[in-house]
């Protein structure tokens, strides 16, 4: 049975068709030469292309990178409690560093997102490299990183064109790059595509196309989502912090509730996840998101859109807060009036939106983690890497964040974002003087017709 599966199953569980009649080993066929048979057999039974899912080798466990000082301090504890303390200490350390980066400003947050993106890409590509034993594939790792550069060049170029139009207008070299940005991006990708085709090698075809698809799916999941994270950040730091902190809160509280009260398994993909942890994490996250939204909505630093000021060559977060971040009075439902003994309550409208964000983070966000668990089970690995002791790799910590980033971006574009005068003004400043004058005349005529300007008004 094992021998038949090994010889007949191709990658992905596909069964290799048996030899056609007259092509059996050792047979003699009048119309086909022996060399043709050998070529056909080589194509269909290449060493690297004949492995099924059951033949995927398990990656050796990664080395324990826990600092020696922690090992000595926790040596007397059981493995369960030792892991609990290691996770807790490293979690507090990462949260402290995150607060420091927030204090340093939006630009440092963008660099953080880029760094996490590159590390996540590296971890997933390395798994494919090891699982499929791709050591002999020519140019695989080089091309993977090349495609990462191409995709980042495209997305970040789009961001520069959208948010830094006035700065680009002053630099002639950047004007050329922005004007032909998409063509340059496409040309760079085509160069990588051609290099991949030229690197195809006999008996490695199927494996090379597997790895080509592996790279592109990784780019789709990692790079696209990280670009959306930065787009959310430009809408205001609060749209970046509340969703991310909600996912972190859900991860921590679900772990704590599951650790102390967990009894009922939640999903087979993650045997350690429990219903108690899932439900406790949900209520904790909604409460946390509501409170965090209230605290952050008070400060311009968090609620104002991130804009680039060319005159001071820096990012700024100064504005008149929109109605979304101004206290409003809301009438309470009858049953709450009796409980709270109040007719109305003052809330920031964003707090209501935070309930939707935290609900998604606690109910749908964990499915990003379940997806990652299924991925790890499929390839027989415990963690994506050993970057963070007690936590695994960067992907293990951010598997839910990317799903959350997409939801926040869709939520903003669907329910929040309206016309942005500063963005419109930036686009107008890029136009030629004649085009600006035509727009001015059209706008003046429109305002006169609406009665906002007097016909005799001279500007």
H/E/C letters for each residue in 263-292?
CCEEECCEEEEEHHHHHHHHHHHHHHHHHH
Q: Give the pLDDT of residue 453.
A: 84
What is the per-residue pLDDT across 384-434, written as a single tens digit (0 to 9) for each?
888 877 778 888 888 888 889 999 999 999 998 766 666 677 677 777 888
- Rounded Cα distance between 204 and 192, Å, is 18
What is the C-alpha radius of gyration for the chain, rounded to an integer number of angstroms?
Answer: 28
Rounded Cα–Cα distance for residues 68 and 164 (Å): 47
Paired tokens of 131: 């699982």
For 336-369, the pLDDT digits (tens) are: 888 888 888 899 999 999 999 999 999 999 999 8
Structure token pair of residue 15: 């069964």
Residue 56 binned pLDDT confidence (cut-offs 50, 70, 90)? low
Spell out the domain ranges in the chain: 2-54, 77-137+201-418, 422-459
pLDDT at 100: 93
pLDDT (0 to 100) of residue 64? 61
Name the least confident of 56-60, 61-65, 272-276. 56-60
Name the pLDDT band for 69 (thresholds 50, 70, 90). Answer: confident
**Structure tokens of 251?**
């991860």
pTM: 0.76
> Six-digit token pair at 5?
């599966």
- Position 58 scores a pLDDT of 55
- Residue 431 tokens read as 């136009």
Taking only the tens place, the pLDDT of each residue in 213-255 is: 999 999 998 998 899 999 999 889 999 999 999 999 999 899 8
pLDDT higher than threshold 50 for residue 125: yes
Amino acid 9: pLDDT? 41
Model pLDDT for residues 192-201, shown as the tens digit of each residue: 999 999 999 8
Widest CA span in the chain: 100
Amino acid 293: pLDDT: 96
How confident is the model over 289-335, as pLDDT tens digits? 999 999 999 999 999 988 777 666 677 778 888 899 999 999 888 88
User: Do the Cβ atoms of 337 and 225 come closer than 8 Å?
Assistant: no
Average pLDDT, the chain: 80
Report how far residue 207's alpha carbon sits from residue 34's, in angstroms, rounded to the nearest whole number: 26
pLDDT at 25 over 50: no
- Give the DSSP letter of residue 12: G
The model's confidence at residue 276, banded by pLDDT at 50, 70 and 90, is: very high
Residue 166 pLDDT = 63
Calpha distance 74→270 (Å, rounded):
26
What is the pLDDT confidence band of residue 49, given thresholds at 50, 70 and 90? very low
- Assess whether pLDDT exceeds 60 at residue 113: yes
- In sign, the C-alpha dihedral spanning 274, 275, 277, 281 is positive
């Amino acid at each position: 049975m094992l021998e038949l599966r090994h010889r007949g199953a191709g990658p992905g569980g596909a069964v290799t068709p048996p030899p056609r009649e007259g092509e059996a080993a050792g047979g003699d066929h009048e119309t086909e030469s022996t060399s043709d048979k050998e070529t056909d057999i080589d194509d269909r039974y290449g060493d690297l292309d004949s492995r099924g899912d059951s033949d995927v080798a398990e990656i050796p466990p990664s080395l324990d990178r826990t600092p020696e000082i922690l090992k000595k301090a926790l040596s007397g504890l059981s493995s369960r409690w030792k892991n609990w303390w290691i996770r807790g200490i490293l979690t507090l350390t990462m949260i402290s560093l995150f607060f420091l980066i927030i204090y340093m400003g939006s630009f440092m947050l963008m660099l953080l997102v880029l760094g996490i993106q590159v590390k996540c890409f590296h971890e997933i590509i390395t798994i494919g490299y090891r699982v499929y034993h791709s050591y002999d594939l020519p140019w695989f790792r080089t091309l993977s990183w090349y495609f990462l550069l191409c995709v980042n060049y495209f997305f970040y170029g789009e961001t520069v064109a959208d948010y830094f139009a006035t700065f680009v207008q002053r630099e002639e070299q950047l004007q050329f790059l922005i004007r032909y940005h998409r063509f340059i991006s496409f040309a760079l990708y085509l160069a990588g595509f051609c290099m991949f085709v030229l690197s195809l090698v006999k008996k490695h075809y199927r494996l090379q196309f597997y790895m080509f698809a592996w790279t592109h799916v990784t780019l789709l999941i990692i790079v696209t989502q990280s670009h959306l994270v930065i787009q959310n950040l430009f809408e205001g730091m609060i749209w970046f912090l509340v969703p991310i902190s909600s996912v972190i809160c859900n991860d921590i509280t679900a772990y704590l509730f599951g650790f102390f009260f967990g009894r009922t398994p939640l999903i087979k993909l993650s045997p350690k996840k429990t219903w108690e942890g899932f439900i406790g994490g949900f209520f904790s996250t909604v409460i946390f998101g509501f409170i965090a939204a209230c605290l952050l909505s008070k400060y311009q630093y968090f609620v104002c859109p991130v804009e680039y000021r060319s005159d001071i060559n820096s990012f700024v977060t100064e504005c008149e807060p929109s109605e979304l971040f101004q206290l409003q009075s809301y009438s309470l439902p009858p049953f709450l009036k009796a409980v709270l003994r109040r007719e109305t309550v003052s809330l920031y409208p964003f707090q209501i939106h935070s309930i939707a964000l935290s609900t998604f983070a606690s109910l749908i966000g964990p499915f990003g983690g379940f997806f990652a668990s299924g991925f790890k089970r499929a390839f027989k690995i415990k963690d994506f890497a050993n970057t963070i002791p007690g936590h695994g790799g960067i992907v293990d910590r951010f598997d839910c964040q990317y799903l959350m980033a997409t939801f926040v971006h869709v939520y903003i574009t669907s329910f929040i974002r309206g016309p942005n005068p500063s963005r419109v003004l930036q686009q107008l400043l890029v136009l030629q003087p004649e085009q600006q004058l035509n727009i001015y005349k059209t706008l003046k005529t429109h305002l006169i017709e609406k009665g906002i300007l007097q016909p005799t008004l001279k500007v």
